[in-house]
Chains A and B, each alone.
Chain A
Amino acid sequence: MKPKWNVKRMKRNQITKIVVAIGLLLLLVASAAGSVRATPAYSGGDTDECGNSGCHDTLGTLTLASNSTSLSATTGEPFVLRIDAGNGAEWIAVQTTWADNSQFSISEMVIEDDSTNDTNAALGEITVDITFTPLSPGNLTIRVWTAAGSDLASSLDVAVTVTGQTITTTPPPEPLDLVGIWRLLMIIIPVVTGVILLILGIVAFRSNEQSR
């Protein structure tokens, strides 16, 4: 039979090892959580135009064209613009905060290369039909951007002369913040996993001690 002081020392050693294991797991979680607080993405709240603040500021290499760069329209009557981006384009975006884009209802605001709405199967080339519905009259400008890695970007302005009465619309519901949910899951799932593994570890070590 082991003396009591020896059993106590063994328990202390066991606790030390468990604390070290918890520390390593928490370090892993903390480092992973820290790594996700980087740059906001298109799918989040980043609505600044490309070419600003050192982001996507290498202009002129990507191609961007539309089937029309000047047209007339009437409020409430939708029209379609075919946008073609190429030479390595990965995204096309038409954010409401750019130029007069907020004066239009826009069917597709962000299109990724080879996503469902991209009708051009070639890698680095995007073709998309975007439906615009003018909401107010005036000489308006639609601004479209394309972007890719290594800060590549290009923009295109389409002039639209809109006639008719102003249309008041209810704002669309906020899109589901998938990136926000993911950031939350990046904390919750590793922590829950760590706790489960810790419990399994304690059970395994205790079971091993009893079987000795």
Chain B
Amino acid sequence: MAIHPVFVHFHTGILAATAGVALLNLFLRIAFKDSINTPGSRVASIFHQVDIFIYIGSIIGFLGLIAGVVTGFMEPDYPMAVLEGSAIMRFKILWSVVSLEIYLFLIIVRAKLGDRVWVKPSTYIPYATLILIGGGLMVLMGALGGLAVYNESIMAPLLDWAGIPWP
């Protein structure tokens, strides 16, 4: 019974959404620096709610990603020998591990610093960039999963455009 598909879509969606709102927060942090430091302002309210969304989304997405990795190795039609023999699966396994590291880092940093993570460029630029990289990896691996299962993906033209080879 295929249980991996049940787990992969949720965390892909939430982590891609997290990357989208991180882009919004990065924009607000740079363009409306004074407003977000004004308590009670609408921009400050949006900024802090999005920050919470990113934090909670990263935690839920991280747990979903672990579930996706575990169930991926449990697929009866994809034993390790088959996974190793497929270029797509090798790519997915490698960058899933890297994604786990990235989200573990983001959760630790956010838990330690709180919303002060957005105060200095030395913290908020790496923080927001890694959220965007993580979201991009999730979308890319979802696309490669679609190619592996259905032989097609809505992302295929983008992969071609970016020069990313896929079998």
List the interface of chain A (C-beta within 8 A of B): 17, 21, 24-25, 28-29, 32, 35-36, 38-44, 46, 90, 112, 114-115, 149-150, 178-179, 182, 185-186, 189-190, 193-194, 197, 200-201, 203-205, 207-208, 211
Contacts and interface: CB of A to CB of B under 8 A. Distances in A.
A41 to B, nearest CB: 4
A20 to B, nearest CB: 9
Contacts of A200: 105, 126, 130
Q: How large is the interface on B (under 10, 10 to 19, 20 to 34, 35 or more residues)?
A: 35 or more
Contacts of B119: 208, 211
B85 A189 contact: no
B104 A24 contact: yes
B77 interface: yes
8 contacts: A39-B80, A43-B85, A149-B82, A182-B94, A189-B98, A200-B126, A207-B120, A208-B119
Given A32-B93, A114-B151, A194-B101, 18 more contacts: A21-B105, A24-B104, A25-B105, A28-B100, A29-B97, A29-B101, A35-B80, A46-B81, A115-B167, A149-B82, A179-B84, A182-B94, A190-B98, A197-B105, A197-B130, A207-B122, A208-B112, A208-B120
A42 B81 contact: yes
B117 interface: yes
B81 A41 contact: yes
A207 B85 contact: no
A208 to B, nearest CB: 5
B81 A211 contact: no
A197 B101 contact: yes
Interface in B54-78: 73, 76-78
Nearest to B151: A114
Question: Chain B interface secondary structure, helix, strand, loop or mixed?
Answer: helix
Contacts of B37: none
Contacts of A182: 84, 90, 94
Contacts, number: 107
Interface of B: 73, 76-82, 84-87, 90, 93-94, 97-98, 100-102, 104-105, 108-109, 112-113, 116-117, 119-120, 122-123, 126-127, 130, 151, 167
A28 B78 contact: no
B101 A193 contact: yes
Nearest to B77: A149
A113 to B, nearest CB: 10
A92 to B, nearest CB: 13
A90 B76 CA distance: 14
B105 A208 contact: no
Contacts of A44: 84
A46 B82 CA distance: 13
B49 to A, nearest CB: 22
Contacts of B78: 149
Given A149-B82, A182-B90, A211-B120, A193 B102 contact: yes
B117 A204 contact: yes
Nearest to A190: B97
Contacts of B127: 204
A46 B86 CA distance: 15
A163 to B, nearest CB: 38
A189 B82 contact: no
Given A150-B76, A211-B120, A36 B93 contact: yes
